């Protein structure tokens, strides 16, 4: 029986288990990446594990999220990260160099390798045929210490592409079409593997747009084969020697199949407040647009900026619309400046921002009250832009550029003829803002620099046999980590300070959550389907744990958040009968007996309403041991001390 590409790479990296769908496997991790917003916590944890040097083939620490420096906190964290990289043998990508996923694709991603990143959009690397997975910072810290990564062996979905793009349709429309069909939980514990004649029309950066935003389907990762197009890309990045040919077998057996004809795609748009809320642009055409933002790790490659520049050339944006452009990397900026195409953006009225995450994570350029903001980004969750009353829509660079000129949502095909632009044969490679690892003899003497915002890690106790307390909050389906632990310019700088950041837990949902949790001495959260979708931020587990959350009981979980809850000793439980969700209310008094956790069944006693309901979980034996130890850090420390 033939193998999928996913199976081939996972098999080569298998440390424990068998490639049987749904079972637990442990795989070797070749590369890791972190970014600054999750990195500080990841490295505090790496330090706590106590290993002298990273054990991976390659580990990179990027700075791209917290680059708005309104006081000392973010720059202090950058200094901390730089000293950590020097001491422990990592590459350090300096602030201003670009967005981690764009940079990793350009400079480090390698076909056939595994990459674990403390950011949910790590699957961007799948664009060159690697297994690239997003995880919580502690899992990445453990991988840097040489631990394997545990996951449920995913099902493999074949996304079979045929045809080729008509003008004004691009990679973003492909992933929006996937989201339109399967929604934001359609690929939980699945890998989206792209094949078919249509992939031969897609360059690596276009493939990267698709694998990047595959995250929004809940997928473990997304992957393209490594073919001649990959070879050309790596050669253009002066990394031709790193290319290998890697394809699924012709008779590979997939669990599901999705077929998309690129020739038949239309410009698509995700409506507020979910990337899964997809319509055709035509259906919402004519709505006035206050802000257009081009950039983010989904759509900030040279190809994307070139197409935008070619559309904006000689035009002026609407007087009612603000346009921002944040390029993906210095390489992209360098090309745009040298070719003169940056001028078209400037002359059209674009506000050129730093090559960083920026408005995608509410780091500046928040839209005005009630604004309609059209973004080439991958997420439009409530409040994420920094303005709670704003309505964010997600589109391709083509739709964004044409709409910025018109001042309203516009089907880009109305523009007329698609202007031509040329891609370079070779990229302008310059790694002078990436500091390579120091040799061990020099690294040993490096002092770690800690600013006053870096607070010690909180310590948590082993799990008791019985959990008691009140339901502190009951929420609906599709609660994102942006609801649980919001980001933005004010909160992100607190990522290495758990007591402070915990004040903002569930702020967009219920401002009294923090105080109520402390007053009641902690308790429980009840949720619906796909609880914790979105970001990999482990702060959405650590901060609730700090506030005394003991268990989260839901209809279903998103993959990364579930792992983060386990890592920090919060018990993730699900209803056996989903209808029981409606029987419990905020304020109910619960008792959960955990002595039967190993059997997969536990009983919840509701004292307020005087009934019992059955709960279950998907935890492996190792995960139960981690929970019992009070989290993954004490668990690993126990292991190393043995």
Binding residues for ligand SF4, per CB under 6 A? 65, 99, 119, 121, 296-297, 357, 360-361, 377-378
Residues in the chain: 642
Q: Six-digit token pair at 392?
A: 């964010």
Secondary structure of residue 309 in the 3-state scheme: helix
Q: Six-digit token pair at 68?
A: 């708005």
Q: Six-digit token pair at 340?
A: 């003169």
Angle at CA of residue 569, ends 567 and 571, nearest 5°? 110
Residues 134-173, one symbol each (x = binds ligand MIC by CB under 6 A, - = not), give x---------------------------------------
- How much helix, strand and coil, in percent to the nearest 5, is found in the chain? 35, 20, 45
Report in angstroms the alpha-carbon separations of 310 from 203, 315, 442. 19, 10, 48
Q: Residue 108 or residue 415: which is nearer to ligand SF4 going by CB?
A: 108
Is 351 annotated as catalytic? no
CB of 465 to ligand MIC, least distance (A): 33
Output Rg (C-alpha) for the chain, integer angstroms.
23
Residue 36's binding partner among ligand SF4, ligand MIC, none (Cβ under 5 to 8 angstroms by kind) is: none
Catalytic member of 24, 77, 119, 139? 119
CB of 183 to ligand SF4, least distance (A): 19
Residue 38's binding partner among ligand MIC, ligand SF4, none (Cβ under 5 to 8 angstroms by kind) is: ligand MIC
CA distance linking residue 97 with residue 101, whole number of Å: 12
Is 537 annotated as catalytic? yes
Secondary structure of residue 105 in the 3-state scheme: helix
CA distance linking residue 642 with residue 438, whole number of Å: 30
Q: Are 570 and 544 in contact (CB under 8 A)?
A: yes
CA distance linking residue 373 with residue 388, whole number of Å: 12
Neighbours of 184 (CB within 10 A): 24
Residue 415's binding partner among ligand MIC, ligand SF4, none (Cβ under 5 to 8 angstroms by kind) is: none
Is 239 annotated as catalytic? no
Interstrand relation of 58-62 and 571-575 (parallel, antiparallel or unpaired): unpaired
Catalytic member of 537, 539, 559, 561? 537
Q: Residue 362 or residue 397: which is nearer to ligand MIC going by CB?
A: 362
Paired with 173 in beta bridges are none
Residue 99's binding partner among ligand SF4, ligand MIC, none (Cβ under 5 to 8 angstroms by kind) is: ligand SF4
Q: Six-digit token pair at 538?
A: 């482990």
Neighbours of 13 (CB within 10 A): 18
Backbone angles phi, psi at 34, to 5 degrees: -135, 160
217 binds ligand MIC (CB under 6 A): no
CA distance linking residue 222 with residue 206, whole number of Å: 13
Q: Six-digit token pair at 356?
A: 């960083």
Q: Which stretch binds ligand MIC (CB under 6 A): 113-121, 232-240, 255-263, 401-409?
A: 113-121
CB of 118 to ligand MIC, least distance (A): 7
Residue 296's binding partner among ligand MIC, ligand SF4, none (Cβ under 5 to 8 angstroms by kind) is: ligand SF4
Residues 398-457 that bind ligand MIC (CB under 6 A): none
Catalytic member of 93, 274, 535, 556? 535
Is 370 annotated as catalytic? no
533 binds ligand MIC (CB under 6 A): no
CB of 493 to ligand SF4, least distance (A): 14
Q: Which stretch binds ligand MIC (CB under 6 A): 165-173, 529-537, 582-590, 621-629?
A: 529-537
Neighbours of 441 (CB within 10 A): 7
CA atoms within 13 A on the CB side of 622: 16
CB of 151 to ligand SF4, least distance (A): 21
Q: Are 393 and 267 in contact (CB under 8 A)?
A: no
CB of 452 to ligand MIC, least distance (A): 21
Residues 59-88 that bind ligand MIC (CB under 6 A): 65
119 binds ligand MIC (CB under 6 A): yes
Residue 536's binding partner among ligand SF4, ligand MIC, none (Cβ under 5 to 8 angstroms by kind) is: ligand MIC
Residue 463's binding partner among ligand MIC, ligand SF4, none (Cβ under 5 to 8 angstroms by kind) is: none
Q: Residue 87 or residue 121: which is nearer to ligand SF4 going by CB?
A: 121
CB of 381 to ligand MIC, least distance (A): 8
Angle at CA of residue 121, ends 162 and 158, nearest 5°? 30
Q: Residue 523 or residue 534: which is nearer to ligand MIC going by CB?
A: 534
Sheet holding 155-162, edge to edge: 221-223, 190-195, 155-162, 256-261
Q: Tell me which DSSP letter residue 30 carries.
A: -
Is 303 annotated as catalytic? no
Residues 332-371 that bind ligand MIC (CB under 6 A): 361
537 binds ligand MIC (CB under 6 A): yes
Q: Tell me which DSSP letter residue 147 carries.
A: -
Q: Residue 501 or residue 613: which is nearer to ligand SF4 going by CB?
A: 501
Is 589 annotated as catalytic? no
CB of 362 to ligand SF4, least distance (A): 9
**Residue in 435, 436, 501, 448 with CA at minimum distance from that of residue 48:** 448
37 binds ligand MIC (CB under 6 A): yes
**Residue in 607, 599, 601, 541 with CA at minimum distance from that of residue 569:** 541
Q: Residue 301 or residue 606: which is nearer to ligand MIC going by CB?
A: 301
Residues 482-521, one symbol each (x = binds ligand MIC by CB under 6 A, - = not), give -----x----------------------------------
Among 6, 34, 38, 226, binds ligand MIC (CB under 6 A): 38
What HEC string does 406-456 produce? HCECCCHHHHCCCCCCCCCCCCCCCCCCEECCCCHHHHCCCCCCCCCCCCC
Residue 301's binding partner among ligand SF4, ligand MIC, none (Cβ under 5 to 8 angstroms by kind) is: none
Q: Residue 359 or residue 631: which is nearer to ligand SF4 going by CB?
A: 359
**Residue in 180, 62, 184 with CA at minimum distance from that of residue 115:** 62
Catalytic member of 110, 150, 379, 539? 379
CB of 536 to ligand MIC, least distance (A): 4
**What are the residues binding ligand MIC (CB under 6 A)?**
37-38, 65, 119-121, 134, 361, 379, 487, 534-537
Q: Where in the sequence numbering do the catalytic residues fall?
A: 64-65, 119, 379, 535, 537
């Amino acid at each position: 029986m033939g193998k999928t590409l996913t199976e081939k790479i996972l098999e080569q990296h298998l440390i424990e288990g068998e490639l049987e769908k749904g079972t637990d496997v442990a795989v070797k991790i070749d590369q890791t990446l972190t970014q600054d917003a999750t990195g500080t916590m990841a490295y505090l944890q790496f330090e706590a594990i106590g290993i002298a040097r990273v054990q991976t083939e390659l580990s990179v620490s990027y700075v791209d999220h917290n680059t708005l420096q309104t006081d000392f906190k973010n720059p202090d964290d950058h200094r901390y990260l730089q000293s950590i990289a020097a001491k422990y043998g990592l590459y350090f990508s300096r602030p201003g160099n670009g967005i981690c996923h764009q940079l990793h694709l350009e400079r480090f991603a390698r076909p056939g390798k595994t990459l674990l990143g403390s950011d949910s959009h790590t699957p961007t690397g799948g664009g060159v045929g690697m297994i690239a997975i997003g995880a919580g910072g502690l899992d990445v810290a453990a991988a840097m210490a040489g631990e394997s990564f545990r996951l449920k062996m995913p099902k493999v979905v074949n996304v079979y592409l045929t045809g080729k793009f008509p003008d004004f349709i691009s990679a973003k429309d492909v992933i929006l079409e996937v989201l339109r069909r399967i929604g934001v939980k359609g690929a939980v514990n699945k890998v989206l593997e792209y094949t078919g004649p249509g992939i031969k029309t897609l360059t690596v950066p276009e493939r990267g747009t698709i694998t990047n935003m595959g995250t929004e389907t809940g997928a473990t990762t997304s992957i393209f084969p490594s073919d001649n197009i990959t070879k050309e890309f790596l050669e253009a990045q002066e990394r031709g020697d790193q290319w290998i040919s890697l394809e699924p077998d012709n008779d590979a057996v997939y669990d599901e199949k999705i077929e998309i004809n690129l020739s038949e795609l239309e410009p698509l748009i995700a409506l507020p407040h979910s990337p899964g809320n997809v319509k055709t642009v035509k259906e919402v055409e004519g709505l006035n647009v206050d802000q257009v933002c081009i950039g983010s790790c989904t759509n900030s490659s040279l190809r994307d900026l070139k197409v935008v520049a070619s559309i904006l050339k000689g035009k002026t944006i609407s007087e009612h619309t603000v346009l921002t452009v944040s390029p993906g990397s210095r390489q992209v900026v360098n090309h745009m400046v040298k070719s003169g195409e940056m001028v078209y953006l400037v002359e059209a009225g674009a506000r050129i921002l730093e090559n960083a995450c920026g408005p995608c994570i509410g780091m500046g350029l928040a839209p005005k009250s009630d604004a309609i903001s059209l973004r080439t980004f991958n997420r439009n969750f409530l409040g994420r832009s920094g303005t709670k009353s704003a309505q964010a829509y997600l589109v391709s660079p083509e739709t964004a550029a044409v709409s910025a000129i018109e001042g309203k949502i516009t089907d880009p095909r109305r523009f007329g003829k698609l202007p031509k632009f040329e891609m370079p044969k070779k990229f302008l490679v310059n790694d002078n803002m990436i500091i390579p690892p120091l040799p061990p003899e020099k690294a040993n003497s490096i002092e770690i620099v800690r600013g006053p915002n870096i607070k010690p890690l909180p310590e948590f106790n082993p799990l008791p046999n019985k959990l008691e307390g009140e339901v502190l909050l009951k929420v609906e389906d599709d609660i994102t980590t942006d609801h649980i632990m919001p980001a933005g310019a004010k909160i992100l700088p607190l990522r290495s300070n758990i007591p402070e950041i915990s004040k903002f837990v569930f702020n967009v949902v219920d401002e009294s959550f923090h105080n109520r949790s402390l007053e009641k001495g902690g308790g429980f959260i009840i949720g619906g389907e796909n609880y914790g979708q979105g970001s990999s931020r482990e702060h959405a587990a650590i901060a609730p744990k700090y506030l005394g959350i003991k268990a989260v009981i839901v209809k279903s979980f998103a993959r990364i958040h579930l792992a983060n809850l386990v890592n920090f000793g919060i018990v993730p439980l699900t209803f056996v009968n989903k209808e029981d969700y409606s029987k419990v209310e905020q304020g109910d008094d619960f008792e959960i007996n955990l002595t039967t956790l190993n059997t997969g069944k536990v009983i919840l006693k509701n004292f307020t309403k005087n009934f019992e309901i059955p709960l279950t979980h998907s935890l492996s034996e190792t995960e139960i041991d981690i929970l019992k130890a009070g989290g993954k850090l004490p668990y690993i420390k126990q292991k190393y001390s043995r």
